[in-house]
A and B are shown apart, each in its own frame.
Chain A
């Protein structure tokens, strides 16, 4: 079946502009996660959504970052007033449910963001 998809695959933007990154999780998966992968920082958790519960935003690095998940499916990560340090690969993952912690997270191919 279809895996997690992300768009765009690459995004180049000017410093100060806003960007939106999209994630389509695997159908039926109730949990959705965003991670950031950057040189020197490794993989960092940003935010996750579980069903209709309030999202865990504890990993968001600043208030310029926000995310929403519409209809329990597609998610959009928005970065306002981008800075050069936001340059990274943004990865989305989904899983069946959060409570069963052994459930595998399936990752998308990522969006490579470059802020010039």
Chain B
């Protein structure tokens, strides 16, 4: 069965620092992987997705993620955090023919 584990329910960084949000998945077949962001009192917005093309995926707002099959990981990074990046981030996996399975989420705080 598919599952997603997000390490760290809360990550705090300073403005301008590297952002690293961790995601590990479990899937019996090559997965489709997603990162979504949720700003306060808003719905989910897709940041980026991996669909078996390039292993390094670039998304919106300067975020990117690298698919590493050997580590079953899909960590989200951004070189320089901005105050507007403060939000909750969800990693999700989807095998063909199923709905999304989400991780528990990681809240990112950015301090000045």
Residue numbers of A with Cβ under 8 A of B are 4, 33, 35, 42-45, 48, 56, 59, 91, 93, 98-99, 101-102, 104-110
Q: Contact between B100 and A98 (Cβ–Cβ < 8 Å)?
A: no
Work out how many contacts link A and B, with CB atoms closer than 8 A: 53
Give every chain B residue within 8 A of A108 (Cβ-Cβ): 43
Q: State A43–B106 Cα separation when bound (angstroms).
A: 12
Q: List 18 A-B contacts (CB under 8 A).
A: A4-B43, A35-B99, A35-B102, A42-B105, A43-B92, A44-B102, A45-B99, A59-B99, A99-B97, A101-B51, A101-B94, A101-B97, A102-B32, A105-B46, A106-B46, A107-B36, A107-B43, A107-B44
B positions within 8 Å CB-CB of A? 32, 36, 42-46, 49, 51, 90, 92, 94-105
Which chain A residues lie closer than 8 Å to B42 at the CB level?
109
Q: Within the assembled complex, what's the spacing in Å between the Cα atoms of A18 and B42?
A: 25
